[in-house]
Amino acid sequence: MYKLNIFKFFSAHIGTRLVSLTILSLFVSFVEGIGLLSLSPLIDLILENNVSEKNYFILTPMLNILGLDNTVISIMSIILIMFTIKGSLNYLYLAQSAEVKADLSKKLRNKLISNYISLNFKVSLKTTSGGLSNIITEQVSRVLRAFDFLSRFYAGILASIILMGFGLVVSPHFFLFSILLFLIFGLIYQNLISKTKNISILATKESKELAENVIRCSDGIKYLLSTSNLNLVQSSLTKSINKIANLEQDAGKLAAVSIAIKDPLSITTMMILVFFQLTFFELEASIFVVNLLLMHRLINTILQTSSGFQLMNEFSGSVHKIDSELYSCDHENIDKFIRFKKIPDKFDFDIELKDVSFSHDKKRKIFKNLDLKIPFGNKVLLTGQSGSGKSTILDLITGLIQPDSGSVIVGGENIKKINIEYWRQQLGVVLQEPTIFSGTLIYNVTLRTSEELSKEEILKVEKLLLNLGLDQFISKLPYGLNTVISDKGLNMSGGQRQRIGLAREIFKRPKCLFVDEATSALDSKNEINVWKVLENLDFPHTLILISHTNPKSHIKFDHKMDIGSLI
């Protein structure tokens, strides 16, 4: 498994904005340090009515800058000003951090979706909906949490260095003691961090598998209930849930250790410092108090920084997963057609398969030296037995797959040399099992909501569905076209789903309309309605109908081709 540098990952996606956040946190810590140092001369004035020479050296530059006298009120004003500035800078830091997170979220999710839709068709078939959903939603959210802890880690490191620097100004032994603290805490937390990182990677993998199993169960719920196989899927879900729960428990125990040792370590360190101060050093009361305050602040900062680094590693598995999805896939997985930008001059496309050979497994040929030409505006019927390659022709023409040899020609150009997105926008594809989206009926026809459509477009949808014989179905829906239909159309018949799929493609008025066994689930009456609609389309187009047998249609086909006779 490759090693990922989490810091480089975020630097690559955030760039200089990570630097600006770091600079802001530096100023926050610096201003806080000045505020704490100002307490020393304040204590001098309160206890002894005089500022010691060392404290006066600390105080003089600030008093001169602000034009203030050496009084209690002046010093209190400085402290108030410093912590007010700290609060303002802290707000800027948190606000900018939120903005960076939002931009990072958009960038990662858009990039993941862009990569997915650019995948080679064969590779995309291996991508499960559950895995994809898990990556884009949960894993990206976990990456954002990792960024939270990373930014806090950077801020904590800088704050610790600033506090050490101010401690060096107050007393050199404080600085040396601070270095010793860093080494001790580093050793204590190193083992915790390593174990947390390993748990995170395992939990990320298991979460992806759980999401895939949940989607699998949801997709097949009707079959699983009908055949009483739901218990088998439930068993798999239970195993994943238990594994994740155990991993979360282990991570929680490690976090508990981190939290539990925080106070004992802090108090022990403070007591050691007090012992050293009283036994070996004779410090003024004000210096001693400020030393304690700085040490207390430093210890808490170091502990929070170490804990933050541990929590960042708890989410590191997700960072690894997202980085792998973005950059570690083989370049061959990306659809090569996407790279080309050429748009054909013509808007009327002849389609030609020229000397095409194709096989799915490189062994048994589906086609060998196939020649097929379909002029624009023709109505073509392709028939053949199951497995003869009817649907494969559709995949070749749409560019989802590439021939082993030969060429697919569109509008006189090799399909590899044209803008494939533009070509696909000219196509309408009606499959035997059309995709039904979770959304309203009108969304399933137009892929837009009612608010995004004009009145004319809505009327067009109503007329189209009426012509396809769906008027009774719509009349029973509580909200008509705006009724939400179930995911994958489980509450509809196969014929209703097929006609909605057909309506979707006709609505977009494609240049080329493929209809693949789209009436197989219809009774004779509704099948006649579909043929009438296809026969009377009012826009120029090529119609390619794919069927096992000659359909009972009044459509006058320009060509009827048996795939078996073409091979």
SS3 state at 322: helix
Instruction: Please say if the pLDDT value at position 462 is more than 90.
Output: yes
Among 79, 266, 70, 273, CA closest to 171: 273
Q: What are the angstrom distances between the C-alpha of 494 and each of 285, 483, 534?
A: 86, 18, 19
Between 154 and 132, name the one with better pLDDT.
154
**What is the pLDDT, as a whole number, of residue 567?**
57
Could you count the other beta carbons within 10 Å of the beta carbon of residue 556? 7
Which of the 8 DSSP states describes residue 334? B
Q: In angstroms, rounded to a whole number, what is the distance separating the alpha carbons of residues 103 and 14? A: 9
Instruction: Give the residue-averaged pLDDT of 126-151.
Output: 79
Least confident of 41-50, 184-193, 505-514: 41-50
For 192-218, the pLDDT digits (tens) are 766 776 777 777 777 777 776 776 666
Instruction: Please say if the pLDDT value at position 347 is more than 60.
Output: no
Instruction: Please say if the pLDDT value at position 164 is more than 60.
Output: yes
Instruction: Please say if the pLDDT value at position 227 is more than 60.
Output: no
**What is the pLDDT, as a whole number, of residue 166?**
78
Strands (E), 177-277: none
**What is the pLDDT, as a whole number, of residue 142?**
87
**542-547 and 379-383: which strand pairing?**
parallel
pLDDT bin (cut points 50, 70, 90) of residue 378 is very high
Among 225, 179, 202, CA closest to 321: 202
Termini Cα distance of the chain:
46
- To the nearest 10°, report the CA torsion of 265, 271, 274, 280: -100
Q: Could you tell me if 251 and 200 are in contact, meaning their C-beta atoms sit under 8 angstroms apart?
A: yes
**What is the pLDDT, as a whole number, of residue 513?**
92
Give the burial class of 259: count Cβ atoms within 10 A of its Cβ; 0-12 exposed, 13-18 middle, 19 or more buried: exposed
For 470-518, the pLDDT digits (tens) are 888 898 889 899 988 876 666 788 888 888 989 999 998 998 999 887 6
**What is the pLDDT, as a whole number, of residue 332?**
46
Instruction: Please say if the pLDDT value at position 15 is more than 70.
Output: yes
